[in-house]
Structures are given as C-alpha cells and as structure tokens.
Amino acid sequence: MDKRGARPHDPEDSETSRAVPGAGYPASVHSAVNVAAPMLAAAAVTLTGVVAADEIKFRWPGAAMLCLMLAAASLIASVQFGFRAQMYRFTEDELDHWFVGAAPDPYPEGSDSKVHTLAVARNTWEIKVRPAVYTYNVGTVLLGLGLAGCLMPKPDSEQSGVRWAAMAVALALTLGELVWALKLNVPHTPAMSPPLEGSPTAPVHVEGPGGDASAPGTPVERRAHDDA
C-alpha cells in the first residue's frame, strides 16, 4: 500500500504485462538458450551415463534414464531453435556491415526499407524463438523428474528416509519450475497486447519492387517471408 492507501501497481499482476516481452527479453532468452541449456543438457547426458553404468543401485533406472534423455533432447532442441531464431536478431550497425559493398544498395539513403527490415526481423525473431523457450522449459522439468527418479531409494536402502526426502525436494522444485514456466509463457498476441503505432513490434506492411506486398524487397525481408 502507498501513502494514499492505494495498492502499488505490480507488473506481475497484469496478464498483459506478462504477455508483452520486455526490453530485456532477448538477453534473458540468450542466457537460457545459449548458456544454461547446453550445460543442463550435458548434465543430463552425464547423469544418464552414471545410471546406465551402475543401474543396480537405482530403484527405477529405466524411467530415470528415459526422463534424462528426453530432457537432454529437449534442451539440445532449444539450442537449435535459438540458433535458428538468432539470424533474425541483429542491430542496425550489423545490418549495415553485412551489406557493405552490395550493388545495388538494398538500403539507399533516405529510404524507409531499413526500418521495415528491422521491424520485420524483430517480429520474425519473436515468433521463431518461442519453440526455443518452450523446449527449454520442458527440458528443465524433465531433468527434474529424471533427478527425482535417481534419488528414489531401493527397498533395501539403508538411508531410505533421507533419499525419500531428497526426492520430495526434487519433485517440489520441479513442480515449482513447471508452474513458473506456465505462468510466464503467456502467448504474445496482438489481441492481448496491441503494439503502439510506430513501435518495432507493430505489424509492418512491406512492399517489394513494383509495389507487390507479397514479395518483400530486401534480402532479410525475403528470407523472413520465405520462412513464414
């Protein structure tokens, strides 16, 4: 409550605020997909090897290894989806550098085509990066389930109580990750969060040579058009 008795606005309380990617969204996606996902995938593969090499010490080795391998596959898929989407994430300077010396110049001075290209690329990136985010979240949940399966004690275990407690903690954390992922993954749609006029996420009408809107004119726009 503030001094006037009104409850301060909490961005997490708004469905719309969760639907609109913030300015730091690309950086957070990069941290998850390009940094965390490869390390988690490596951990899943390593733990699978440990279980396979000494499965007699685990209660359900098959189920644990299945969850771990599915987790590794999902996390690797996240890296691949992120790699695919990254080609549409670039700055104006990077765009200029890429087409240095091109003839004819796809972005002549005074033309609006560069602004259109950057907007089209950003919209395309937001669409193509979603599978990377989804598979990352699925992978982390599966990794938690696989870890819980590894912690499940055998009937003759001397420390079954401690291992059951450890398994319960792993399952609780996995459930928390699942709830958190479902809470954050609100679809970003124009109906939920209409973009402001002139914003980088606003729909862009791109016309190619001769005014044909179905054939974008710049190389990046043609690539986005072909991949759509």
Q: What are the pLDDT digits (tens) for 108-147? A: 665 677 777 878 888 888 888 899 999 999 999 999 999 9
The model carries a pTM of 0.67
CA–CA distance, 211 with 208 (Å, rounded to integer):
6
Q: What's the rounded mean pLDDT across residues 47-56?
A: 89
Task: Check if the beta carbon of residue 149 is closer than 8 Å to that of residue 71.
Answer: no
CA–CA distance, 43 with 140 (Å, rounded to integer):
11
CA–CA distance, 93 with 98 (Å, rounded to integer):
9
To which residue do tokens 């549409």 refer? 88
Task: Check if the beta carbon of residue 148 is closer than 8 Å to that of residue 170.
Answer: yes
Q: What is the pLDDT of residue 7?
A: 47
Q: What's the rounded mean pLDDT across residues 64-80?
A: 95
Q: What's the rounded mean pLDDT across residues 95-114?
A: 67
On the question of pLDDT at 22 being above 50, the answer is yes
Confidence of residue 78 (pLDDT cuts 50, 70, 90): very high
